Every structure is written in C-alpha cells, then in structure tokens.
Amino acid sequence: MSGNPLPLGDLSSLVGYHLRRASAAFALDFQEAVKGTGMRQVLVGILSIIAANPRVNQGTVGAALGIKRANMVSLINELVDGGLVAREVSPTDRRAFSLTLTQAGEAMRQECTARIQAHEAQMLADMTAQERETLLELLGRIAAKRL
C-alpha cells in the first residue's frame, strides 16, 4: 500500500488490517467534516435512523445501529437535551419511547449529511461510481456476517 514506508509483511494480505486503516482515515476526516457541530458519528447515525423512521422506538434505533440498550439511553438523553430529538411515550407500547426529530434536529441532520457527503466525495474522488457501488456492496456483505 502506498503511504507506508515499511513492508507490511503478513499484514499486506489481511483485509481486516486494511479495513481498520481505511476506517481510521475516514474517522479522522469525518471529525473534520462535522467540526463545530458538536456531533459525533453515533449521534449522526441516530438522527438519520429517526429521520427515516419517524416515531421509531429507541430500542429499534439501537438495534439498527448495533448500540447496546444501556448506551442508547444516554445518547438519546444527549440528543433530547440538545433539542434535536423529541421523546414521547409510545402510544402502542407504554414501556417504550417513540422518537422524532425536532426542527433543529432535522436542520442538524441535513447540515451533517451535506458535510459528510462532501467528505466522502473527497475521500473517494479517485473511484468511479461503479467502484463505489461495488465497495458498498462488498462492505455490506462483510457486515452481514456478524450483524
């Protein structure tokens, strides 16, 4: 791989190693993309799921993103306290909360999505549209093995 002055030995053929390196590069660039918004990847993910599924319960959001129930409580509290998400007792299950984005939450989701799309366009600029589709399909197949 370019950018590494030393031979990688066994690492050069390990997909997991290269996935971790690519993920780290994306994570660093992601932080720059959303700098100043107060958002993190997990929070943007939650906003995206809620926007696509209004009135979804927080357990379903957590399951979709692979977030443990105990962690979801504090994440949702953070979004509610920030005025980005409205939480109500679910009309169909009094033990659960349904979630919707507030106007501020929708505006934040849109801003972050635009920034992230620009970040991804820059990170993947040397790939064709077909290569990007193939990459997404292959990553999805890998993720499906454990999710």
Tens of pLDDT along the chain (147 residues)?
456 578 889 999 999 999 999 999 888 888 889 999 999 999 999 999 999 999 999 899 999 999 998 899 999 999 999 999 999 987 877 888 899 999 999 999 999 999 999 999 999 999 999 999 999 999 999 988 875
Say what the pLDDT of residue 13 is: 92
In the prediction, which pLDDT does 4 show? 59
* pLDDT for res 2: 55
Distance of alpha carbon 113 from alpha carbon 76, whole angstroms: 19
Residues in contact with 102: Cβ distance below 8 Å, sequence separation at least 6, in sequence order: 83, 84, 85, 86
